[in-house]
Amino acid sequence: MKISTLIGSLFLFALSLPPAAAKEPNFVIIFTDDQGYGDLSCFGGNHVSTPRIDQMAAEGSKLTSFYVAAPVCTPSRAALMTGCYPKRIDMATGSNFGVLLAGDRKGLNPEELTIAEVLKSVGYKTGMFGKWHLGDQPEFLPTRQGFDEYFGIPYSHDIHPFHPQQEKFQFPPLALLDQEEVIEMDPDADFLTKRITEHAVDFIKRNKNDPFFLYIPHPIPHAPLHVSPPFLKGAPEEVRAGLAAEPEGTIDYKLRNGLFRQAIAEIDWSVGQILDTLAANGLDENTLVIFSSDNGPAIGSAGPLRGRKGTTYEGGMRVPAVIRWPGRIPAGKENTELMTAMDLLPTFTKLAGANLPADRVIDGKDIWPVLTGGEKTPHEAFFYKLQAVRSGNWKLHVTGYKKGMKPAELYNLEKDIGEKENLLEGNPEVAKQLLKRLITFEAELEANSRPAAFVENPTPLKKAP
């Protein structure tokens, strides 16, 4: 074997090893809201500018087949936190809507184990700053689900009295919480990204001598779009003029759509603040940072993908993802292997030297060898709710999944990432095998699912007098 080949092989082997147990790695998840596959410059977006996230990609890896487990907020976040498909833990919907609403009686079951709880079990400090959306009643708040610290909003910031369909929903004022205390009602959302970032930076500084898990789920770019004054300067003149004339007590959603580039720019600034704080405190080489989104775009771009938020086409559930860990994650690499947000729990668990619970099914897989050693995805199949399935490069959409599934559309994603050419007619055997996987998975879910939790007489959050 040539010396150069041997050295290369040894380097790849070293990358594939978990870090030494004496120095537990830190973990940072930055999770935006409704940011599409095409809403980063490093993913081809010309309508946005994301130099700090692009820097992350240059110093780490772009994950171009990274999926969330649902195309809307609540189930996607439940899957991230627990490593499980939403339907397995009864979090596929809210109690009477597609996502949890204000004063919902339903929430993530406290008996579930979150990433925060698993890491906390081996001495990690845990902090979350941003949008939760897994239950707003006291029993369901982040501080009851493994987080030492929490500052943020309990659900999407459009669940407020200014919603365009307020007559239908009758939403109460939006609460801003510090730990479990409501500190403001209807906070100025223009400053949410800034305030969340400041709390995250402070958390890093205070916990630099301990292993930590930091979760930053930004409320933006979910509508209505908001940015702080420094970023408003770059907005189109007609948008700035319209905002200046926006009547007090109202929010013009359509007008604010014109702030998309600025909203993404502020998120990019926030990522830069996190990266700079890690570097300034000597934590760069011991911290894994991943940036991604909870589902496809509502306002932005899915890039080359078909579909948007709410759909099981690729644009609804394949999201932009960038991962960075200097010296551990290969730099400047595009990783095309199928990975999911559910995989973060088992992967972090292994890297931290913790143990996965043995009394329940966890759908996520350890993807560390995929991220570092060039191995193939551990997923034999990925399920888009019970409406589609991907195995290898083939993806099957079905109809009638509640009344007997039937093949409807079949795509080869390697050749047709935009799901434009339906190959069902010419590949009946492929469709048959994929349908069998979907039916088997449905039966397995029925046999191994766990309940969400419910409270009696839920009440919307209020600030104490």
Q: Which of 133, 157, 199, 379 is catalytic?
A: 133
Query: pTM value?
Result: 0.95
Cα 296 to Cα 306: distance, rounded to the nearest angstrom:
10
CB atoms within 10 A of CB 209: 9
Q: What is the structure's pLDDT at 156?
A: 98
Q: Provide the 3-class DSSP secondary structure of residue 6.
A: helix
396 with 367, same domain: the answer is: no
Catalytic residue list contains 222: no
Q: Decide if 141 is inside a domain.
A: yes
Of 460, 130, 59, the closest CA to residue 284 belongs to 59
What is the side-by-side order of every strand in the sheet holding 333-335? Answer: 181-185, 175-178, 149-153, 125-131, 212-217, 26-32, 287-293, 322-324, 61-63, 333-335
Q: Which domain holds residue 69?
A: 23-379
pLDDT-derived band of residue 402, with 50, 70 and 90 as boundaries? confident
Q: Decide if 1 is inside a domain.
A: no
279 with 208, same domain: the answer is: yes
- Please compute the mean of the pLDDT values over residues 217-221 and round it to a whole number: 98
pLDDT at 422 over 50: yes
Q: Decide if 103 is inside a domain.
A: yes
pLDDT-derived band of residue 10, with 50, 70 and 90 as boundaries? very low
Cα 63 to Cα 50: distance, rounded to the nearest angstrom:
16
Report the largest interatomic distance among the alpha carbons of the chain, rounded to a whole angstrom: 75
How many separate helices (H) and strands (E) can be counted in the chain? 14, 18
Q: Which amino acid is at 328?
A: R
79 with 202, same domain: the answer is: yes
pLDDT-derived band of residue 254, with 50, 70 and 90 as boundaries? very high
Domain count, the chain: 2
CATH number for position 388: 3.30.1120.10
417 with 374, same domain: the answer is: no
Q: Are the C-beta atoms of residues 196 and 129 closer than 8 Å to each other?
A: yes
Residue position matching structure tokens 């008996």: 111
Q: What is the structure's pLDDT at 403?
A: 75
Q: What is the structure's pLDDT at 373?
A: 82
233 with 330, same domain: the answer is: yes
345 with 430, same domain: the answer is: no
Q: Decide if 62 is inside a domain.
A: yes
Cα 399 to Cα 267: distance, rounded to the nearest angstrom:
38
pLDDT tens digits for range 174-190: 999 999 999 999 999 99
Residue position matching structure tokens 């919907």: 93
- End-to-end distance of the chain based on CA atoms, in angstroms? 75
Q: Decide if 353 is inside a domain.
A: yes
Q: Provide the 3-class DSSP secondary structure of residue 117.
A: helix
CB atoms within 10 A of CB 113: 22
pLDDT at 428 over 70: yes
30 with 177, same domain: the answer is: yes
162 with 306, same domain: the answer is: yes
Q: Decide if 461 is inside a domain.
A: no
318 with 179, same domain: the answer is: yes
Cα 324 to Cα 83: distance, rounded to the nearest angstrom:
21
167 with 101, same domain: the answer is: yes
pLDDT tens digits for range 257-270: 999 999 999 999 99
pLDDT tens digits for range 255-306: 999 999 999 999 999 999 999 999 999 999 999 999 999 999 999 999 999 9
Catalytic residue list contains 42: no
CATH number for position 137: 3.40.720.10
Q: What is the mean pLDDT of the chain?
A: 94
pLDDT tens digits for range 434-458: 999 999 999 999 999 999 999 999 9
Q: Are the C-beta atoms of residues 59 and 322 closer than 8 Å to each other?
A: no
Q: Decide if 2 is inside a domain.
A: no
pLDDT tens digits for range 27-50: 999 999 999 999 999 999 999 999
Cα 120 to Cα 125: distance, rounded to the nearest angstrom:
6
97 with 183, same domain: the answer is: yes
The CA–CA distances, whole Å, from 109 to 112, 114, 213 equal 6, 10, 21
pLDDT at 23 over 90: no
Q: Decide if 173 is inside a domain.
A: yes
276 with 397, same domain: the answer is: no
Q: Which of 73, 157, 160, 163 is catalytic?
A: 73
